[in-house]
Structure 1
Amino acid sequence: MALFSDLPRGDLREIVRQFTPNWFAANMGTGILALMVGAFPYPFWGQSPLAQGLWIINGLFFCLFAGLFLGRAIFYPASFRRLFGHPVQSLFIGAIPMGLATIINGGLLLRPHSGPALEMALVFWWVDVALSVLSVLVVPYFMFTAQEHAIERMTAAWLLPIVPPEVAAASGGLLAPHLATGGATMVIYISYVLWAISVPLALGILTILFLRLTLHKLPHADMAVSAWLPLGPLGTGALALVLLGDADTQAFAATPLAQLAAFGQMGGIFIAFLLWGFGLWWMAMAGLFTLRYLHEGLPFNMGWWGFTFPLGVYTAATFALAHDTDFGVLAPLGAGFTLLLAFFWVLVTWRSFQGMWSGQLFHAPCLSEETGLLEGVCTLPPPGTGPDLLESLRR
C-alpha cells in the first residue's frame, strides 16, 4: 500500500487543503493519557519517563497539526471558510484549545518549574482562554445562523465547542498556585467565569440529548463513540472546581476573602461529587451503547478519539477527588479507568496510523459534494466483515 495513495490527485498539498480540526482530538487523547500516567497512584518502573515522553510527542504533533491548520487558512481561504458551514466538522474547532490545554497542564505537572517556564505557561494559558472563548462563541453562532441541524441528527458532539472554557478553567486551577498573589487571583476569577460559561451550557445540551435519545434512539454507528463525550464536561467541570477550590485557599489565605476561599474549597468538592456521580451514569450508558454497537459494526473514524479524552478527564476528576477526600474507593477506581484509557489509546492510535498511511483519513467532508451528517467524522470503510472494533482487537 503506497503512502498517501488515496489522496485526491496523489498531491501532498491536499493534506493541507483537506486538513480538518478533528486531528486535534488526537492531541487531546494523547495529552490526557500522559497526565494520567503521571498521576497513576501505584508507582511503576518508567512511569515518569513514559508520561514525559507522551507529553513531548503530543507537543510535537500539536505543532504539526497547528501548522497544517494554519496552512489551510492561509493558502486555501475559500476551503477554510467552508469548514464553518459544516454541521459536524465545525464542532471540532473546540478540540484545538482543549489539545493545547493538555500541553500546558503537562508542563505544570510533568516538568520541573522555573521562572521562564511559568511565564511561558501563563502566556499559553491566555492563548488557550482566547481560543476557548472563540470556540464557545463562534461555533454556536454559525450553528444558529448558517448550519442545518435537526433534533434527530443531534449527537453529543455538540458539546465539543462548548467544553473548552471549563478545560481552560481547570488549567487555571493548576496554574494559579504557581503565580504571585495578584496574578493568581486574576487567573482564579477568570477561571470561575469560564467554568460558568461552559458547564451550564453543557448541562443544557445533555438534557436535550436525553430527549433526543428517547425520541429517536441511538445515532448511526459512525457517531457511536460520541456516547462517551458527556464524560468530558462532567469530568472537567468536577476537576476544575476541585483545583480552583485548592487554589483559593492558597491565593486568598491572608486576605478578607479567606473564609470565602474555604467555602469555595468545600463547595467545590461537594458540587464536583455531584458532577462525578452524574458522569458515572453516563459512563455506564456509554458502555452499554458501545456493546450494542459492537454487534452492528463500528467503522473506524477520527471520532474514535472520543474514547480517550472524556474518559481521561473523568479519571483526572476521580484522582482529584481521591486526593482531597477520604473516599478510599476513588484511587483504585481511577487506576482502573487509566488502564481502560491506555487500552483505548493504543487501539485508536494504531488505527489512526493505518488511516494516515493509506491517506484515507486526509479528507475534508466540508469539501465534498455531499453534505450528509455522517461525513463529518471521515469514516473509513470496514477492513473486513463483522464488527470493526472486534476486527481491530483481533489484529
Structure 2
Amino acid sequence: MTTETFSPTRSRDIDGLIPIIRHFTPNWFAATMGTGILALDLNQLPIAIDGLHAVARSLWLGNIVLFALFSLMYGARWILFPREAARVFGHPTMSMFFGTIPMGLATIINGFVVFGIPLWGPAAIEIATVLWWIDVAMALVIGLGVPFLMITRQDHAIERMTAIWLLPVVAAEVAAASGAGLLPHLADPHISLAIDMICYALWAYSVPTALGIIVILLLRLVVHNLPHHDMAPSSWLTLGPIGTGALGLLLLGADAPRVFASAGLGSLADAAQGIGLIGGVVLWGYGAWWLAFAVLATLRYLRLGMRFNLGWWGFTFPIGVYTASTYALAAQLHLALFEVSAEALTVCLMLFWMIVASLTVSGAVSRRLFVAPCLVNGSIPCDARRGS
C-alpha cells in the first residue's frame, strides 16, 4: 500500500476556502463517527460525575454541526469540481471511506433517541426514523456499490489489503443496530415488525461478508506482515463489524418480546432473545482477540514511528461500538466482567478521542490535512482499470 492517500499536503497549496473544498475527501466523516460514538458511550458510563450527561449531549449536538459542515463541503466539491470528485470511484483506498458517511449519520440517529427525546419529545423519534431510512438507503448502495467498483474498476492485491476494506461493508450492520435502537419508541406494531425484520436483513447483508474479509485479512497479515505504519490505525477496524454485529443481535433480541408479541409472533421471542444473547457473547469474545491484537500491533507501530493522519480516527469508532456492545451485555447479564470492561473501554475511547481530535484540529488549522490523493503527484492512480 502506498502512503500518499493519507499524506499531508503543504499548507501553501491550500490557501482559501475553494482549494479546501477541492481537496475535501470522504475520510473526514470518520471524525463524525468517532465523536458520535464517544457521546453515546459517555452517556452510558455509570460513574457519577456531575455534568457528564451534559458533556455527552454537547458532543452529540456538536457532531450534528460537524456532519452538516462536512456534508456541505463534500457536496460543494461535487458541484464545483465534479470530474475531480468522480475520480474517487477509481481510488482503491479513498473510495472505501464512502462507508463513513452513513456510519457517521447513524451516531446522530442514535443520539436523537438518547438525547433528543428529553429535548424535543416525540418529534425526535420522527426525525430519527426519517434519517434512519436515508441511512439504510446509503448503506445498501455503498455496501454493494463499492465492492463492485473494487471488482470491476480498481486495482487491488492481497499484499496491499488492509482492514479499510471493511468500511463500505459495515455500514449496513451499523444501520441495523440503529434501527434496533428505534424499535422501543415506535407505537405502530406493524411498522415495528417491518423495521425489525429489515434490521435482521441488514445484519445479514453486512456481517457475514465482513467476517469473511476479516478471515482473509488475517491470512494477509500472516503472509505479508503488518501494513505500512501510515495504516497503523487500520489494525483496530476489525473491532467495528464484530462490535456492531454483537450490538445489533443484543438490541434486536432485547426488543423481541414486545415486537413479536404485538404482531402475534410471541413464540419467536425466546428464540430471538437467545440468539441475541449467545450470539452477542460469541462475537464479543471474538472481538477480544482482535482488540488484544490491535494493542500489540499499535505498540509495534509506536516503535517504528507513527505520523498523524486522518486515518487515526480508526482508533475511535471501532473501540466505541465494541464498548457499546459491552454495555449491552452488562445490561442483560449483570456480570462484573462486562460492567468493568465497558467502563475501562470508555475511558480508553475518551483518551483516544482527545488525542486524535486535538491533532485533527491542529492539522485542519494548518491546512495540511486537506489533500485529495487523486490530485497529488505520485499518489495511487485514480483512473486505473482492472484488466479484463
For Structure 1 versus Structure 2, the TM-score category normalised by the shorter chain is over 0.9
Q: Are 1:304 and 2:309 matched, yes or no? A: no
Aligned partner of 1:317 in structure 2 is: 325
Rounded to whole Å, the distance in 2 between the matches of 1:178 and 1:9 is 46
Q: Are 1:229 and 2:237 matched, yes or no? A: yes
CA contact (8 A) 1:101 1:171 kept: yes
Show the 5 A alignment for 1:251-262. Answer: 251-262=259-270
Q: Which amino acid aligns with 2:252?
A: L
Q: Are 1:161 and 2:161 matched, yes or no? A: no
Rounded to whole Å, the distance in 1 between the matches of 2:14 and 2:122 is 49
CA contact (8 A) 1:27 1:58 kept: yes
CA contact (8 A) 2:14 2:370 kept: no
Q: 2:83 aligns with which of 71, 78, 83?
A: 78
CA contact (8 A) 2:99 2:168 kept: yes
Show the 5 A alignment for 1:64-143. Answer: 64-112=69-117, 114-143=121-150
CA contact (8 A) 1:37 1:338 kept: yes
Aligned partner of 1:212 in structure 2 is: 220
SS in 2 for 1:252: helix
Residue segments in structure 2 that go unaligned for 5+ positions in a row: 1-8, 382-388
Shift of 1:369: 2.9
Aligned partner of 1:334 in structure 2 is: 342
Aligned partner of 1:344 in structure 2 is: 352
Rounded to whole Å, the distance in 2 between the matches of 1:12 and 1:135 is 28
Once the two structures are superposed, what CA deviation does each residue of 1:327-358 show, in whole Å capped at 9, x if it has no partner?
22111110000000000000001110111011
Q: Are 1:16 and 2:21 matched, yes or no? A: yes
Q: Are 1:55 and 2:60 matched, yes or no? A: yes
Aligned-residue Cα RMSD (Å) equals 1.3
Rounded to whole Å, the distance in 1 between the matches of 2:225 and 2:13 is 36
Aligned partner of 2:6 in structure 1 is: none
Q: Which amino acid aligns with 1:235?
A: G
CA contact (8 A) 1:38 1:110 kept: no
Once the two structures are superposed, what CA deviation does each residue of 1:88-113 show, in whole Å capped at 9, x if it has no partner?
00000000000000000011012325
Show the 5 A alignment for 1:164-183. Answer: 164-179=171-186, 180-183=188-191
TM-score (norm 1): 0.91
The verdict on how the C-alpha distance between 1:291 and 1:43 changes in structure 2, with shifts beyond 3 A counting, is same
Shift of 1:262: 1.8
Rounded to whole Å, the distance in 2 between the matches of 1:288 and 1:131 is 34
Rounded to whole Å, the distance in 2 between the matches of 1:49 and 1:190 is 33
Aligned partner of 2:3 in structure 1 is: none
Shift of 1:300: 0.3
Rounded to whole Å, the distance in 2 between the matches of 1:17 and 1:76 is 7
CA contact (8 A) 1:7 1:14 kept: no
Q: Which amino acid aligns with 2:99?
A: G
Q: Which amino acid aligns with 1:150?
A: A
CA contact (8 A) 2:91 2:380 kept: no
Rounded to whole Å, the distance in 1 between the matches of 2:16 and 2:293 is 43
SS in 2 for 1:39: coil
Percentage of pairs with the same residue: 49
Q: 2:292 aligns with which of 284, 292, 295?
A: 284
Shift of 1:7: 4.8
CA contact (8 A) 1:86 1:371 kept: no
Rounded to whole Å, the distance in 1 between the matches of 2:35 and 2:299 is 24
Rounded to whole Å, the distance in 1 between the matches of 2:98 and 2:238 is 17
Rounded to whole Å, the distance in 2 between the matches of 1:255 and 1:22 is 41
Q: Which amino acid aligns with 2:56?
A: A
Tell me: higher relative CO, structure 1 or 2? Use CA pairs within 8 A at least 6 residues apart.
Answer: 2
SS in 2 for 1:162: helix
CA contact (8 A) 2:14 2:20 kept: no
CA contact (8 A) 2:189 2:263 kept: no
Q: Which amino acid aligns with 2:81?
A: Y
CA contact (8 A) 2:242 2:286 kept: yes
Aligned partner of 1:392 in structure 2 is: none
Once the two structures are superposed, what CA deviation does each residue of 1:137-192 show, in whole Å capped at 9, x if it has no partner?
11111101111111001000100001000000000100011112111111111110
Rounded to whole Å, the distance in 1 between the matches of 2:361 and 2:313 is 13
Once the two structures are superposed, what CA deviation does each residue of 1:64-119 show, in whole Å capped at 9, x if it has no partner?
00001111112211011101111100000000000000000011012325232211
Show the 5 A alignment for 1:234-273. Answer: 234-273=242-281
Residue segments in structure 1 that go unaligned for 5+ positions in a row: 374-395
Rounded to whole Å, the distance in 2 between the matches of 1:107 and 1:257 is 29
SS in 1 for 2:43: helix
Q: Which amino acid aligns with 1:123?
A: V
SS in 2 for 1:94: helix
* Segment drifting more, 252-261 vs 189-198: 252-261
Rounded to whole Å, the distance in 1 between the matches of 2:204 and 2:77 is 33
